[in-house]
Amino acid sequence: MKKSIILCSLSAILLCSCAAWRDPAYQQKDFFSGTGFVDTRVNEDTFFVTFIGDPGLSEHECKKYALRRSSELAMQGGFEYFKVIDEDILLEKTEHESASLTHADNTAEDRQLLQTHKFTKKYVTVRMKIKCYTKKPWADDAICAHDFLVYNFPYALS
């Protein structure tokens, strides 16, 4: 009896933790990190969507996140399809320098050395202008918002 209660409890905890999982890279733009998505409504069926990726995210991943946000905006507005009208991909590299003190034992005297380290962070920014449609337009490149989310981000629909 105790084993079945413990097993049920553990199953419930695991199920809840899976349902609450969020993709850490996908978020509204964060003031401190400067990464995430931003969207602006131009008119009732047109939006600007920007996604600024964390260092380490590829161009492909950043584009998928921008398309995810586009899909969400289309569905929230009652649209089934959207089309990317314009797209820009910007690559930005920033160099940072850090310093650290190390101790060197030089015969009898102990002295401090200042070591500097240089590293580069690469950020990818994807900017899109999208137009939304209630029915599939003639254009072959129109994207079904619901299908895009189902195939690429199934956990986002819960």
Q: What are the boundaries of each domain within the chain?
A: 23-157
First to last CA, the chain: 33
| Strands lying side by side in the sheet with 46-52 | 36-43, 46-52, 109-133, 81-106, 143-144
Provide the b/e sequence for 80-89 (b: ≥16 CB within 10 Å): bbbbbeeeee
pLDDT at site 18: 45
Give the pLDDT confidence score for residue 8 in this predicted structure: 46
Name beta bridge partners: 119: 96
Contact 151, 144 (CB under 8 A): no
- For residue 21, the model assigns a pLDDT of 42
pLDDT at res. 3: 57
Nearest to 156 by CA among 68, 89, 94, 92: 68
Q: Residue 78, by phi and psi: left (phi above 0), alpha (psi -120 to 50) or beta?
A: left
Residue 128 bridge partners (DSSP): 49, 87
76: pLDDT strictly greater than 70: yes
User: In angstroms, rounded to a whole number, what is the distance separating the alpha carbons of residues 128 and 149?
Assistant: 17
- pLDDT tens-digit series, residues 97-133: 776 666 656 555 555 566 777 778 788 999 999 999 9
